[in-house]
Amino acid sequence: MKSKQLTPQKLIPYFSYQYGDIYLGDSQQLLQSVESSSVNLILTSPPFALTRKKEYGNESASKYIEWFLPFAYEFQRILTADGSLVLELGGAYLPGLPVRSIYQYELLVKLCNDVGLYLAQEFYHYNSARLPAPAEWVNIRRIRVKDAVNVVWWLSKTPYPKADNRKVLKPYSDSMQLLLQKGYKPKKRPSGHKISTHFSKNNNGAIPPNLLEIANTESNSAYLRCCKAKNIKPHPARFPESFVEFFVNFLTDEGDMVLDPFAGSNTTGKVAEKLKRRWMSFEINEVYIKSSQCRFADAR
Ligand SMILES: C[S@@+](CC[C@H](N)C(=O)[O-])C[C@H]1O[C@@H](n2cnc3c(N)ncnc32)[C@H](O)[C@@H]1O
C-alpha cells in the first residue's frame, strides 16, 4: 500500500542546531516535504509492535506492517541511490502465548519484495542489561530464556550502498595483539582454511561482527541529569549513543544527510551533530521534543 498523497508543507523546525533541525509532527505528513533522493541514511527505531502497549502508543503486531508500509515507500523515495535504511525492531510474544510474533520477518519480506529495498545485511543489537520478561514465561514457568537481542535490518536502495568498515574497526583482542607482535606462521586451520602471512598485518583494528553488543545502561548522562534538573520524564526507549555512532560512521561521511523519522529523545540527531553530519529528526510527541533539548545541553 503506497502512502496517501498528503499536501507537502514547508517544514518549520521546532529546534535548530548547527547541523540539523528537529520537527514536531506526524512523519507521514512531514516526509512528503522531503526532497526525493536527498537523504543518505535513515536510522530509526519505530514504535515496536509489542503485545502490551507502551506509553507512546505502539501498533499491534498484526496491524504493524499495514501501518509501516506507507512510511517505507516514502523512505525509498527520499534515499539517495547509495543510501541506507537502518531499522531497529524489538521482538514480541503473541498475546497470552509463549510463542513469538514473526512481524519483523514479515516486514522484511515486504520491504524487499514490495517496496523494492535490498537487505544489505542483518544486524543484532545485544543488550546484556535487558531484564528477563515476560515474567510468566521466563521467571515463573521458566520455559523461555531472557530476550536480549533486537533485530536491526540494514536495507539499501541499490545493492551497493555507501559503506566502509574501516571507519568502525574495533580494538584488537589481547591475543590478536600478541600475534601481531610475535608474527604468525602460515598454517592450515582445522576448518581447512589456509591462513597466510597477510593475517599478521596490522590494520589498526578488527573488522566488527554484525552482533552489536551495546548495553542500555545510561544512568548518569548529561541528558538524564538535564531531564532531572528540569523535572522532565526522560524518553523510555532511547538508543544508546554508541549504537547510532556505529551506523553513522559506517554508512555516511561528514556533510551527508541523516534522518530519524521516529526521533524520540533525538539520539540520532545528537550523534549526527557531533559527527558533523547534516540531520533532520521528526517526532510526533511535543513532550519528547522538549526533552530532546537536554541531549544538547552540553553543546550549548
Ligand atoms: C522507540 S521511540 C524512538 C526512540 C529514539 N530512538 C531515541 O533514541 O530516543 C519511537 C518514537 O516514535 C514516535 N512516533 C510514533 N509515531 C510517530 C509518527 N507517526 N511520526 C513521528 N513520530 C512518531 C513516538 O512518539 C516515539 O517517541
pLDDT in tens, 276-294: 999 999 999 999 999 999 9
Domain count, the chain: 2
Closest to 155 measured CA to CA, from 125, 113, 102: 113
Same domain, 244 and 113: yes
Q: Which of 3, 55, 56 has most ligand 1 atoms within 8 Å of its beta carbon, as the pocket-test mutant?
A: 56
Mean pLDDT throughout 118-134?
94
Same domain, 148 and 221: yes
Q: Which has more pLDDT, 183 or 28?
A: 28
State the pLDDT confidence band at 299, using cuts at 50, 70 and 90: low
Q: Which of 206, 230, 256 is the last residue of a domain?
A: 206
Whether residue 6 is contained in a domain is answered as no
Q: Quick check: CB of 264 below 6 Å from ligand 1? A: yes
Q: Quick check: CB of 60 below 6 Å from ligand 1? A: no
Q: Which has more pLDDT, 107 or 176?
A: 107
269: containing domain:
15-166+209-296
Q: Which has more pLDDT, 55 or 274?
A: 274
The ligand 1 atom at the shortest distance from the C-alpha of residue 46 is: 10
State the pLDDT confidence band at 300, using cuts at 50, 70 and 90: very low
Q: How far is the CA of 283 from the centre of ligand 1 (A)?
A: 6
State the pLDDT confidence band at 56, using cuts at 50, 70 and 90: very low
Whether residue 5 is contained in a domain is answered as no
Q: How far is the CA of 215 from the centre of ligand 1 (A)?
A: 20
**DSSP conformation letters of the chain:** -PPP-PPP-----SEE-SSEEEEES-HHHHGGGSPTT-EEEEEE-PPP--SSPPTT-PPPHHHHHHHHHHHHHHHHHHEEEEEEEEEEE---BPTTSSSB--HHHHHHHHHHHTS--EEEEEEEEE-TTPPP--HIIIIIS--S----EEEEEEEESSSS----GGGGPBPPPHHHHHHHHH----EE-TTSPEE-GGGG---SSBPP-SEEE------S-HHHHHHHHTT-PPPSSPPPHHHHHHHHHHH--TT-EEEESS-TTTHHHHHHHHTT-EEEEEES-HHHHHHHGGGGGGG-
Q: Quick check: CB of 45 below 6 Å from ligand 1? A: yes
Same domain, 198 and 290: no
Q: Which of 206, 227, 260 is the last residue of a domain?
A: 206
Percent of the residues in the chain that have a pLDDT greater than 70, as a whole number: 88
Query: What pTM did the predictor assign?
Result: 0.90
Q: Are strands 194-195 and 211-213 parallel, antiparallel or unpaired?
A: unpaired
Same domain, 112 and 243: yes
pLDDT in tens, 79-121: 999 999 999 999 989 888 999 989 999 999 999 999 999 999 9
Q: How far is the CA of 284 from the centre of ligand 1 (A)?
A: 7
- Take atom 19 of ligand 1 and give the residue whose Cα is closest: 26
Mean pLDDT throughout 138-152?
96
Q: Quick check: CB of 295 below 6 Å from ligand 1? A: no
Q: What pLDDT score was predicted for residue 182? A: 77
Ramachandran sector of residue 127 (left: φ over 0; alpha: ψ -120 to 50; beta: rest): beta
Same domain, 90 and 201: no
Same domain, 183 and 37: no
Among 20-24, 185-189, 205-209, the least confident range: 185-189
Same domain, 256 and 231: yes
Q: Quick check: CB of 288 below 6 Å from ligand 1? A: yes
For position 256, which CATH number holds? 3.40.50.150
Q: Which of 157, 183, 206 is the last residue of a domain?
A: 206
Same domain, 50 and 147: yes
Whether residue 69 is contained in a domain is answered as yes
Mean pLDDT of the chain: 89
Q: Which has more pLDDT, 173 or 147?
A: 147
State the pLDDT confidence band at 51, using cuts at 50, 70 and 90: very low
Q: Quick check: CB of 239 below 6 Å from ligand 1? A: yes
Same domain, 119 and 257: yes
- Take atom 18 of ligand 1 and give the residue whose Cα is closest: 26
